[in-house]
Structures are given as C-alpha cells and as structure tokens.
Structure 1
Amino acid sequence: WPGIDEECKTATYAGIQIPNSLRDALHARGIEEPIGVQPLVMPDLAAGRSAVIQAPTGSGKTLAFLIPVLARLQPTIHLGVQCLILVPTAELAVQTAKELKWLFKAIGGKESGCWFSPQVPQDSAVQVLLSRSALWNAVRKDSSVLVSTPGLIDKEIAMLPALGKRFGETLAYFLASNINTIICDEADALFTSRFYRRLEKIVPAEFVINSIVTAVRQRYRNRPLQFIAASATANSLNISKTFDRIMELKWKKWEHAHLRIIPKFYRYPRERNEDDMEELPTHVPLPEQIVHAVCRLATDDDADRFKVNRVSLLTTIVKRLEGSVLVILPDALKVDLVRTMFERAAIDNVQKFREMTGLNRWEGRSTQEDTMIETAIEGMKKKRPAHLRANVDDSERAEHALSRLERFEAEAAAGADGVLLAKERDVRGIHIEGLRYVVLVNPSADEKRYVHFAGRTGRAGQPGTIITIMSPSETKLASYMEGLLTAQFQEWDAQAAEAVPWNKSRADVLYETRQRRTDEDLQRAGQELRDMRKRELEARSLRRERQRARQRS
C-alpha cells in the first residue's frame, strides 16, 4: 500500500495488511472475517504470484483477487493501466467495476487523488469499457484499472485492415507501459470457445494477452507479470495449456525456459492434498444451503413453439413466491412476452435486467448519447477510420447501470418482493445479495452452466432455492445432474410454494441405474487420462531440470 502511512494500515485481513479505512468499510458491509477462498489465496496474490482460483460462486473470489491487486498499485512516472481485468460479458464488467469503485472509495486518498498517486483522480481510476467506440477515450484517461471484455479490443484491431498492424502495436504498447497484473475472471468462458476452435483461431482473450506480453517483451525489458484466472467451473487443463503458450511467448529462448512460471492452483473447498491442477475435477461442490427443486409440467411441450404452458407454470410459481426472484429465460424466449404475462397475473415490480442496468443499446440513454451514436453511425457510412469516429463515453452509462443495480440490491436485501428477468447469456454478470429464489425456465444438461445458474442465490452463506421447470421427458436430466454435482433434487409444489420429497417414477430409477454404470466407465477413462497427463507433466519437468543443469554448466 504505497502512499498510506504505517499507522493507518495496522489492520489485517486474510493474512495481508490492509488500511484501517478498508477494514471499517468491510465491517460496515457485514464482513467481519475472511470467507471462503480468501485466506487461502490472498497472501500469495499480494506477493505477486500467479494463480488459478477455483471456488464456488458467492465464496468471495472477487474480493480475494481485487484487494491484493490494489495493494500492489505503484506510483509511476507516467500514467497508464496497471491492472487489466478481462471478463466475458458487459454485465460482469459492470459488477466488477462496482466492487472496484467501492474499494477505491473505502480506501480513499489524498484530496481527490488516489492513495498510491495523487495524479490519478479517484473518479477515473477505474474505467469500464462497454463499447468499442469508447476504447481510446478510456485508455487515454488517467486510469489505473481497466475492466473490459476481450472482444472489444480484439474487434477494434480488426476494424482497420490497412492500419491494423500499426494500430495494434499502438494499443498494445499503451496498455503494456505500466501493466503488472492481468486478471481473467470467469476464465473458462474466456479461454473456451467452440466457434474459434472450429475456425482454428485463438480466442480473443488469449490474443489480447499475447499482444500485451509481446509489447512487454519487446519494449519494456520483459518485466515480470502476474496472471490470475478465476472461475467456479475452471477447466484446469485448458487454462494450464493457455498459460503454457503465454509463457512460451514471453520467454522464447530455450535458455530462458526456467523463467517460465507455472501458476499455482487453488481450489476451495479442497478435497485432495495434491497441488497438481490436473488431478482435480473441473467443477466444485455447490453450497449446501441451496435447495434444488424440480417443477414438472403435465405434458411434454416439444411441439409448443411459444412455450405457452411452460410460461403459464412459470407465472404460477413466481406469483406464490415471497422475496426477490431471478427468472432465467432461454435466449429464444422474448422477455417482453414473459413480462406481459406477469403483469396480467398482477405480479408487481417486474424488471428486465438489461433495461434496468441500462446496458441495452436502445434503452436508458441520454440525449447526448443519442447524438454521439448518430454521429458515429454517420462516420461509419463515410468509411472513416475507427480512431477518427465520434467516441461514446461509457462513464455516464456505467454510472447509470451501477445506480440501478444498487437500488435493486438494497430492495432485495430488505426482503422486498421483486422479479428480475434475465437471459441465460447474461447470468454470469448478476450478483445480488439477498436473492432468495432462482427459477430456470429450461433445464440445462451442462453441469457447469447449472453451477453458475444456481450460484446466483445462496451467496455468502445465505439460504437460497433454485427451481427448474421440466417436462416429463426432461426429468431424467435431474437424475443426471444429481450424479455429477452430488446434489439432491426435490419436487416443487407450485400451489403450496414449497419443496417436497420427489417420488420418482420407475423410468427415472432405471435411468439412474444406467447412468451410474456409465459414470463408473467415465471415471475409469478419466483416471487413465489423468495418469497420462501426469506422465506428460513429469517428462516436462524433467526436461526443464535438464535445461537448467545445462545452463548452469
């Protein structure tokens, strides 16, 4: 914590020293002691070590890597981004920026500047990018932490075919001038993409990191960088391969192979003592305080294009729930249709997530933003270069989103009734304390997606319930998820608004038996793959030892 006097940072949190003002802010927020994964990772992150963090949603991952990173911000000769945070969605970028702004406000500084450098104003120390047109304005400001989706930077480089190389170098060099930490939140979504894998291209997140690493190696003496990846469903094998490629790019020569760092893997709650990330499964157990329930339709609705029966049952469920409710809709289902059905059923305080946060392009804008967007469109029609087009500042838009989110969170924490409608693609960015229920309209056969859906409730040890609407032919998915996630499903009584024991049919029991045998076969195959991967790692470490011995000789 450079710039903060020693007598003002006598408090400790999760094994690291923090300012007294931050301790008081954490206490006011109800955080008296470190929770979840925080005491496990924060000391190493504060020391600058790279890490891969795998922990359940709501276990304190965000604060676990944000507080140590802020402690490492340094006063620099020239201003520039010191920490780049890459997230998969704009909603998650707004949530991360909200936590950062709260931390900056809690820590404070000298007058209007930040604690580590008075030249950096607190108002612009954190910048969140919501559109490509605001990219250059954001990176030119006196900001120290930049939150963005990697696609914004990647697409902006691709917009200039003729000047692409020069543009990419300029942007990468600017971002790399002071950077010391790169954080990938929800790393499994950033580094895994079937679309890019099918085209045999690297994902945008890896492309952005490679550009920054190349600039650091060529222009800034190849100084050390800290890499942090965090997710509740992190595929440790894919992430480890991605880090290997990045380290090979940073240290190309064979005599520098011993400098290629291997990030340490942290998993909470921990079930094994090995540090090898390939030895652990790709997901973590769900919190015990979450109740998993299934509400069954009377008949199958595969031929129902508009899902009328499913939406009617959804309306019945939500109408009888008390407290804050998050309804997760499939991407093909219109949000306005569900909202209209709720209003006809006399359900009050129904809000759309993207409209509430102002992230919808055509909603929640000011007149000034309309003028800027029209100017930008005119510039695109004239085929002007991207860096000469009108730039839309995202600061007002982000502040609007943050204020609306804070208001809804305050109502949810107070126990007020409210319904929030969101699409499946926007779920990762929703973090609402006190959310009581999550209703999933379509069941998910992917256990990783279900972990993120269920993780919207039951955060920080609070109780929560996730209700999944299933047709009779889809109930076998519940048995399948029980085997993967070690979670016990119950049946939801829509009229009584409570979970009751599930009386499974004979077909469900037979499916569970067949699935159990299939899982045993998969476990044997997975063990063989892990053994093979372990042998590969041992051979790689042996080669590195030989290279180091050759270099010493």
Structure 2
Amino acid sequence: MSSDFARLGVPTSLVAALEARGITSPTPIQEATLPDSLAGRDVLGRGRTGSGKTFAFLLPLVARLSDGRPAAPKKARSLILAPTRELASQIEESLTPLAKTAGLSHVTVFGGVNQNPQVRALSRGVDVLIACPGRLLDLMGQGAVDLSAVTITIIDEADHMADMGFLPMVRRILDKTPESGQRMLFSATLDQGVGVLVKAYLHQPVTHEADSAESPVKAMDHHLLKVDKAQRVGIVAELAAAPGKMIVFTRTKHGAKKLAKQLISMGVPAVDLHGNLAQNARTRNLEAFHSGAVRTLVATDIAARGIHVDDVELVLHADPPAEHKAYLHRSGRTARAGKAGTVLTLVTPDQNSEVRALMRAAKINPTTAVVRSGDELLASLAPGEREFLSPEAAQAVAYPSKPAQPQGNGGNGGNGGGNRRRPSSAGADRPSAGGRPGNRRDSESRRDGESRGGARRGGSGERRGGGGGERRGGESRRSGSGHSSASRAGSTGGVAAFSAQRRRGR
C-alpha cells in the first residue's frame, strides 16, 4: 500500500492538508476507490465502520469542486447525506481543513437545533452541504435550499439509513438532484433496501470492497463474562474505574441514563449518549469523553456508528445487542486504525442461549469465563489501579456545570471526597435554543428525526422519535438486560469491598 496519496491522483495541496493531520498512508478503501472517484465515476464503496470511508469520499469531492465557480444563492454544489447528527458533525470536522485549503464553503444541517442559522448560511449558497434527511427535507419544503445545481452526491452509512427508515426520504432528496451528477454510496452492507437505492440512482457504479462488514476485526479480543444479575452493575463499575477510555453499551435509552447515574453514585464519572438527549447535551457529553475529562461513555446503539474517538481501549456490552451486526458495529469503536482493543460482553443466566446465537452469527469465538466482583480476571482485562471518587466528586467531573445531587447510598469505594481529575470545562447541560416555529426541541421525551427513521409525514423527520437504530436493537422494548434487576445494595456492595482492597491491575 503506497504512502503517497498523490500517486492515486489526489492534488498536492490536499496531500499536504492530510499530512498536517498525520495522515500519510491511504487505507484499503481509499486505495481502492480514489482513482475512480477522482475521475468522476459513480462509486459503490463497501467497508466496515472505521475503514477510512470519510476521506475516501471527501478527497474527490473537494478536488472536483476546486474549480473556482461560486455557488448561487440558496443552491448547493454538492451534497453529503448522513444518518445521524454525530456522523454529520464528524464529517464536517474532517472536511474543514480540506475545504479551507481549497477555498470551499460548507454548511451542516440537522434537526434538534434552531434552523435559522442554517437558513441564513444556505441563503448565500454553499459548495458542500452536509445534511441529515429530516431537516434537509424540511428546509427544501420551505424553499431555503435548492438541489438543482448539485454535481456530486454522497450517501454515507447507507445501510444505517435503511435501519433507521430513512431510505424513502433519501429517495425524495435524490429525486431533486440532477441525474447527470456523480453519485457515491458508502455502506457496510447492501441489504435492507440499499441495493434498490444503488440500482435506482447510481449509473454503472464501480464497486469496491475493502473489508467485509460481516468479518470481525482481528485486532480485537472478545470475552464473554457470565455474571449474576445482582453483581452486573458492580462489575461494570470495577471495569469503568480502571484507566483508559471505555464505551459501555446498553439496549435502551432509559438503561443508558440509569447506568450512568449508577456509576456516578459509585464514584465513577460517566456520561450518557442516547436519542433522548438534547443536541447541546449530546455535544457536551461527547466532548467530555473525547477530551478524556470523562473516561466512561454509556451509550445506546446511537454510538455504534459514525462516532470516532481515539484510543478507546475497551468496549463493554453491558446489555448484549439484539443482533450480530449491532455487535460488530458496537465493537468497532475500539481496535481502530490498526490498534488492538478488547470487547467484553456481560451475560446473565437468562441470556446464555441468546448470546450463543449472537456469537455464531457474528462469527466470533470468544473466551468465556464466570466472574464475580473483585475477581483477578477483571483486573487483567482492564488493567491499572482503580479510581473511585466520592459520588459528589464523580458528579462534578461528569457534569461540572450541574450542582451536586444527593446520591443516596450508592457507595463510592472509599476514596473520600478527593477528586484526582480536573473537571471538564464543557458547557452546561441545558435545553437547546429550539427550532423553527412549531418544531419541538430534542429533549428527554421529544422526538429526533436524525436519530430515528420514518418517511411518514413528508420531510418532518425531526418530529419523529429518537434512536432508530436503537429502536431496532430493542430501544422501544423494555429488555430485562436493559434494566438491571439487581438491587442497588447488591451491586454496590461488591464495589465497596473491591475498593476497600484497592486492588491493582496486572
């Protein structure tokens, strides 16, 4: 694999912009697709999450738009569709240095926030429009944006679009773009209607597959930990108290929120991420985790795709996912960019048969062990000295702008009130400023078109509920694994005993 992007046809100025970010060698998906995409061909790229697909489509997009032609008012010269706001924001982050080098303008639109800044930015015209389907259809219906000048259209995470019910909305959007334009679609799989989308909108696409979405990453170690329900939360806390970043997955939004609070009550700073959070809370929690101010993120499947955080050492399935693809996508948050990672799945007695079937479908042969709180195996899987704060100190680290709340008898591991970490400077967890008139805010009980699918009611995806991929994985059904039946006393007692011993990892 060449380390020279220029050999693939990438302009020198963009090669320099990549090198400034420490990117010197193309990934397999970039190596395979760039010659065709730079030549203007329609491209179908298949590769797993984290394979480098973002730069595989951003580089040709920026290179081909660098012709000096300005965008007309209310018109976009190119369009990138993404299923979630988090993915849209990360695409924008990757695009920014490239667009600055080429002198291109860009706007990102999604629901759950005030639309007025988006409308003002679009009124001037834009070279690159990054959008989630629901909000884009709303803006199109209001006449705020015109797609008739789009020359390049990119659909990212198309299979996730399908999982969330967005494909009818995507078709309505693509129908407004010129048929003669270049179209690129990137997806991990071609099921769930994605193949129909390819046949309808891509013209003689060149297909490249760099990585099968069905194959596990070799750099991952997979472990099944059989646990008693009464000790499940305590074991999560033992693992989360170790050094390093960890993502803990639950099946439901309620489960993520509850588990994050339980960890804080045990002295482990944690933030949650799920479809019921307002956009500014999502952004703040992700930034706290990304920066390392908080090392534990408790999330639903909304974090299984499109969320890139460096150096996630451990993925913990506190609730096993409902199907094997979700397991692979969740697990893909670690072992990225060639690094190794560890994936743990907690299995309660009632989940044994379900998890066995899940592993067979995912083609995973995990190491299995029965564990209890304080076992040496936990210290070896998540090595390092455990750090338990007081509940008040953990709350201050996780939510520095929130007043401390009484934590009851959650147990904290006996570390007193000492806070060994500097609190995050992230913003307060307040509701968003709201959207257009009549558009509900994305709050705990309200709806988020970017997080949940549905083509019903036209383009008003923002009015349709939160967490489409999560819903498919069991968001809307109250799974026993999503709501631990452990008594708080049972789960925290193990942590207190463990903390008192102050075990050190190997």
Task: Pick the TM interval, shorter chain.
Answer: 0.5 to 0.7
AA at the equivalent of 1:153:
L
| 5+ residue gaps, structure 1 | 1-10, 115-119, 158-166, 197-201, 217-221, 248-260, 271-282, 300-307, 365-399, 501-553
Q: In the alignment, does 2:271 pair up with 1:351?
A: yes
Counterpart secondary structure, 1:17: coil
Q: Distance in 2 between matches of 1:425 and 1:410?
A: 19
Q: Distance in 2 between matches of 1:75 and 1:347?
A: 52
Counterpart secondary structure, 1:203: helix
Q: Distance in 1 between matches of 2:279 and 2:21?
A: 34
Instruction: Give 1:363 shift.
Output: 4.8
List per-residue Cα deviations over 1:62-89 (Å, max 9, x = no partner).
1111111111103325433122111111
Counterpart secondary structure, 1:59: coil
Aligned residues of 1:185 and 1:231 also touching (Cα < 8 A): yes
Relative distance call for 1:149 and 1:417 in structure 2 (3 A) is closer
Q: What does residue 147 of structure 2 align with?
A: 175
Q: What does residue 102 of structure 1 align with?
A: 97
Q: In the alignment, does 2:41 pair up with 1:85?
A: no
Matches within 5 A, 1:188-227: 188-192=159-163, 203-210=168-175, 212-213=176-177, 216=178, 224-227=180-183
Instruction: Give 1:55 shift.
Output: 1.1
Between Structure 1 and Structure 2, the one with more helix by share is 1
Q: Distance in 1 between matches of 2:191 and 2:111?
A: 29
Identity percentage of aligned residues: 24
Relative distance call for 1:419 and 1:313 in structure 2 (3 A) is same
List per-residue Cα deviations over 1:264-314 (Å, max 9, x = no partner).
2211137xxxxxxxxxxxx33121001111122225xxxxxxxx7533332
| 5+ residue gaps, structure 2 | 383-506
Q: What does residue 37 of structure 2 align with?
A: 45
Aligned residues of 2:273 and 2:285 also touching (Cα < 8 A): no
Matches within 5 A, 1:279-318: 283-298=213-228, 309-318=231-240
List per-residue Cα deviations over 1:221-279 (Å, max 9, x = no partner).
x5x211111122x22583232232336xxxxxxxxxxxxx2222211137xxxxxxxxx
Q: What does residue 69 of structure 2 align with?
A: 76
Instruction: Give 1:354 shift.
Output: 6.6
Instruction: Give 1:499 shift.
Output: 5.2
Q: State which of 304, 318, 332 in structure 2 corresponds to 1:441.
A: 318
Aligned residues of 1:151 and 1:205 also touching (Cα < 8 A): no
Matches within 5 A, 1:363-512: 363=280, 401=283, 408-411=289-292, 418-491=295-368, 493=371, 495-496=375-376, 497=378, 498=380
Relative distance call for 1:156 and 1:311 in structure 2 (3 A) is farther
Relative distance call for 1:449 and 1:479 in structure 2 (3 A) is same
AA at the equivalent of 1:148:
A
Structure having the higher Rg: 1
Relative distance call for 1:328 and 1:150 in structure 2 (3 A) is same
Q: What does residue 162 of structure 1 align with?
A: none
Aligned residues of 1:51 and 1:227 also touching (Cα < 8 A): yes
Q: Distance in 1 between matches of 2:16 and 2:287?
A: 20
Q: Distance in 2 between matches of 1:185 and 1:14?
A: 25
Q: Distance in 1 between matches of 2:279 and 2:108?
A: 22
Counterpart secondary structure, 2:305: helix
Instruction: Give 1:171 shift.
Output: 5.5
Aligned residues of 1:323 and 1:417 also touching (Cα < 8 A): no
AA at the equivalent of 1:290:
M
Instruction: Give 1:155 shift.
Output: 4.6
User: What is the TM-score of this pair, normalised by structure 1?
Assistant: 0.60
Matches within 5 A, 1:17-32: 17-20=10-13, 22-32=14-24
Instruction: Give 1:27 shift.
Output: 3.2
User: What is the TM-score of this pair, normalised by structure 2?
Assistant: 0.65
User: Aligned-residue CA RMSD in angstroms?
Assistant: 3.1
Q: Distance in 2 between matches of 1:425 and 1:68?
A: 28
Q: Distance in 2 between matches of 1:322 and 1:204?
A: 43
Q: What does residue 193 of structure 2 align with?
A: 238
Where in structure 1 do 4 or more consecutive aligned residues deviate above 4 Å? 403-408
Instruction: Give 1:336 shift.
Output: 4.0
Relative distance call for 1:468 and 1:102 in structure 2 (3 A) is farther
Relative distance call for 1:137 and 1:334 in structure 2 (3 A) is farther
Matches within 5 A, 1:255-334: 261-269=203-211, 283-298=213-228, 309-319=231-241, 321-334=242-255
Q: Distance in 2 between matches of 1:192 and 1:344?
A: 35
Instruction: Give 1:40 shift.
Output: 0.6
Q: Distance in 1 between matches of 2:10 and 2:320?
A: 45
List per-residue Cα deviations over 1:440-498 (Å, max 9, x = no partner).
12112312211210111111101111211211232234432333333221136563323
Aligned residues of 1:83 and 1:144 also touching (Cα < 8 A): yes
Counterpart secondary structure, 1:175: coil
Aligned residues of 2:70 and 2:127 also touching (Cα < 8 A): no
Q: Distance in 1 between matches of 2:191 and 2:29?
A: 17
Instruction: Give 1:44 shift.
Output: 0.6
Q: Distance in 1 between matches of 2:45 and 2:279?
A: 37
Instruction: Give 1:39 shift.
Output: 0.5
AA at the equivalent of 1:318:
A
